Amino acid sequence: MSALFQPFTLRDVTIPNRVWMPPMCQYSAAPEGPSTGAPNDWHFAHYAARSAGGTGLIIVEATAVSPKGRISPYDLGIWNDTQVEAFRRITRFFKSQGTVAAIQLAHAGRKASTDQPWKGGAPVGPEAYGWQPLGPSPLPFDVGHPAPTELSVAEIREIVGQFTDAARRALDAGFEIAEIHGAHGYLVNEFLSPHSNHRTDAYGGSYENRTRLALEVVDAVREVWPEDKPLFFRISATDWLEEDGWTADDTVRFAAQLKEHGVDLLNVSTGGNASGVRIPVGPGYQVPFAARVKAETPLPVAAVGLITDVEQAEKILANNEADAVLLGRELLRNPSFARLAARELGAEVHVPDQYHRSV
C-alpha cells in the first residue's frame, strides 16, 4: 500500500491520508468593520477546492488570537463570535468531504502590521489600518520596520489567555486539530530565539526562560483543547544563523519537551526570524530537520519545503523521514494533487460524487 495514502491516527482523530495542506495566509479578510478577520467567499472557495481535491488534512492559515496579533490588517482572526460563525461554513464542508479541519493559532509579534505581500508587504501605520507591533524585546525585524513595544509580564500573560480563548473558539467553530504557531519569526518564535529575545527576566536569557512562553501557551491551549483531539506545534528548526540563533539541536531538545506537555505532532519548517540570511533552498530542503526530530524524539513530525511531486512525497514517508508531508506551493497550483497522486500510486482517495467521471 502507498505510504502516502495510509490513514494516520492521533488521539481519537484519524486523518485519511498523509497529503496535508500547510497554513498559507491569503491576506484577504476585511481590515475593518463587523466582519474584520472573518473568512469570506474567497477563503471558502480556496479551502473547499483543496478539500474536494482529496487533501487529508487542511491547516487553515495563521489565524490571529487578537487584532494586534495579525500579520497584516487583512489576516484572519478568531477573537470574536462573528469569526467563529464564518469558520463553521468551512469546517462543515471539510467534514462533508472527509477532510480533517485544523487551524493555526498565531500572534505575529514584531512582524505584525504589514501590508499585503502583492503590495510590497512593508509595515503600515494607522492610516492604512495598522498598529504598533509587540515583541519580547524592542528589536525591529529588519531595516524599515518599527521597533516593537517590549511586552510586560502582565501583557505576556494576557496573550497566553488570548491563545486559550482562541482555542475555545476554534473548537466551537468545528476544528478537530489546533496548531500553535511557533515558527517564521512570529511572537512565540521570537521568544524562543536569542537573536530576537534579549530579555533579562524570566522570559529571556537561558534556554529554559526563552522556552517559557511557548510552553505556557501549549499548556494553556492543551487545558481547554479536548483530550481526544490532537494539538500540533509549528517550529522553525533553525534561524539559519551561524551564532546567537535558534538551532537544530535546540529543536530536538524542545520537541521532547513539547511531547511531555501534550503536543502530538511537530510541523517542522525553518527560518523567518532573521532578515538577510542565506537559506539553501531546494527540493525538500527542510526535510532533514523533520527527519532528525523523528529519529531522535518520540514526537511524530510533518515535513514541508518544496515537496512538489508524488515520487518525492512517497519517498519521504517510505524512508521514515516524516509521518506526513505538507504541500504548500503545489497545492496552490494543483488543488487536486491528492486525487492525481492516488491515481498514479494505485491508491484510493475520496472523490466527490459530482466528480465521478474523473476517477
Give CA 57 to chain center in angstroms. 13
Please enumerate in sequence order all residues whose Cβ is within 8 A of that of 64, keeping only pairs 6 or more positions apart, or say none: 37, 70, 71, 75, 76, 77, 78, 79, 106, 107, 108
Which candidate in 186, 203, 285, 355 is catalytic? 186
**Does 186 participate in catalysis according to the annotation?**
yes
Which letter does DSSP use for residue 123 in this model? B
State how far the alpha carbon of 131 is from the alpha carbons of 70, 78, 124, 149, in Å.
10, 18, 8, 11
Cα Rg, the chain, nearest whole Å: 19
- Name the H helices within the chain: 41-52, 81-97, 153-172, 187-192, 207-210, 212-224, 248-260, 287-296, 310-318, 329-333, 337-345
State how far the alpha carbon of 215 is from the alpha carbons of 265, 268, 339, in Å.
15, 17, 38
- Residue 9 and residue 55 in contact, taking contact as beta carbons nearer than 8 Å: no
Give the catalytic positions in this structure: 186
